[in-house]
Structure 1
Amino acid sequence: MIISNIFQVFTDNAILHLYLELSDRGGFSTHEHRNQILVRFIKKSLKNQKYKIIRKELKRLLHVRGNTSISLESRLWDFKIVSDKSKSDLRHLYDLLEYLNLDLGLESRFFIDEPDEKFISMKQYEVENCFNKKGEQLTPISMTIETAKLDKVIDYISQKSPFTVEIASSSSKCFFIVIYLFLNNK
């Protein structure tokens, strides 16, 4: 995972942690109390190996807390908004393929003649030609996959990514499908 993805995961987790803590407590919470909750979370995260690569950024966030007029919560929301806006369509595809591998154990590969049944297969020239130089999607992306987890894969793509899935062809005998991915314009 690259640094921006790890920081994005951290930001999501920190905001979620804050809101869960506040909902457990109930009632009004001051700016200082919200910062304290986030500081505790950041300090715990410094020890977490998953966040090792972003320790410098986490330490910078801890230095911000010294200035009582700055809200760590608003800083995290600013980071989240900027990282969400700056993602290109191509980056969304790479993230999707990475998460399909991590969460569902489905690796992806390029193929020339015949797709490999063990992987999510895509034609390299097709992927290269369906994005412009800015990383914006121009045409649908076709993926070929042979899996018994078809419903799980489709649900995963629909829920966890900005892509819309359209099945071009399938065979119930071997669970071979061709999936077209269209980026939703949300």
Structure 2
Amino acid sequence: MLLSSIIENALLNLYVNVSAAKGFTPLEKRNHILSQYLKPKLKDPRYKSIKNELKQMLYISRTKRANLEKKLWELNAVSVGHRQKINDAAKLFDQLNFLHDEHGIDAKLSHEKSYDSPSDNTIYVSPEHIEHCFNQSGKQTSPLSLLIQGDKASGFAELINIRGLFRAERKEWNEKACQAHILLHPLTQS
């Protein structure tokens, strides 16, 4: 999802710049606009997981007569097709990666006794609960229970809901311990 987001934002940035320019924007200029958008992402630690893909895009933008815009549209089409086929278990993995990369929230598989001294800004989920909540094809069949403690716990459900992969419900809130018990529901019930 991170790569998809970069691709979509790069294309949006290109079209905003092209619409602001007067007249026709040649291929070389379009590649330059895209490379200016993508280049700073190489040094950003949030994009470490897609650094190789970013380098490949920048290489294409510097190649004579290469059309990075066309390549981004092709990648976007593949990404959209993949997103339509993705199951709930893969969405959970993607959601957890996003929370880690964008918000510094780790996730750990844990058993009940580990909940006694949880680390701050770490999501805890029981492996048995994951097995119970997802069927063999990866479809979520019941709400998944998550525990988080720390300064990001109070707004944790909103972070998930904004992303749009799941619907998060704050089941319990312990203000003194700054702990939240979250139920993660699938978006579609079928």
Q: Normalising by structure 2, report the TM-score.
A: 0.71
State how many pairs are aligned. Answer: 176
Equivalent residue for 2:87? 88
In structure 2, distance between residues paired with 1:112 and 1:185: 28
Equivalent residue for 2:32? 40
The two structures, once aligned, show a CA RMSD in angstroms of 3.4
Residue identity in the other structure for 1:89:
D
Secondary structure in structure 2 of the residue aligned to 1:121? strand
Query: After TM superposition, what 4+ stretches of structure 1 lie above 3 angstroms from structure 2?
Result: 35-38, 41-52, 55-63, 70-74
Unaligned ranges ≥5, structure 2: none
Asked whether the equivalents of residues 157 and 170 of structure 2 are also in contact (C-alpha less than 8 Å), the reply is no
Asked whether the equivalents of residues 123 and 147 of structure 2 are also in contact (C-alpha less than 8 Å), the reply is yes
Unaligned ranges ≥5, structure 1: none
Asked whether the equivalents of residues 169 and 178 of structure 1 are also in contact (C-alpha less than 8 Å), the reply is yes
Asked whether the equivalents of residues 140 and 186 of structure 2 are also in contact (C-alpha less than 8 Å), the reply is yes
In structure 1, distance between residues paired with 2:7 and 2:101: 20
Asked whether the equivalents of residues 61 and 72 of structure 1 are also in contact (C-alpha less than 8 Å), the reply is no
CA displacement at 1:40 relative to structure 2: 2.6
With 70-79 and 147-156 compared, the bigger mean Cα shift is at 70-79
In structure 1, distance between residues paired with 2:107 and 2:176: 22
Identical-pair percentage: 21
1:93-172 matches, within 5 Å, as 93-114=92-113, 115=115, 116-118=117-119, 119-172=122-175
In structure 2, distance between residues paired with 1:98 and 1:129: 22
In structure 2, distance between residues paired with 1:138 and 1:121: 19
Residue identity in the other structure for 1:175:
C
In structure 2, distance between residues paired with 1:134 and 1:60: 38
CA displacement at 1:10 relative to structure 2: 3.4
CA displacement at 1:106 relative to structure 2: 1.9
Call closer, same or farther: CA 1:183–1:126 in 2, change over 3 Å: same
Asked whether the equivalents of residues 11 and 80 of structure 1 are also in contact (C-alpha less than 8 Å), the reply is no
1:50-61 matches, within 5 Å, as 50=48, 51-54=50-53, 58=57
Residue identity in the other structure for 1:125:
E
CA displacement at 1:109 relative to structure 2: 0.9
In structure 2, distance between residues paired with 1:29 and 1:129: 57
Q: Normalising by structure 1, report the TM-score.
A: 0.73
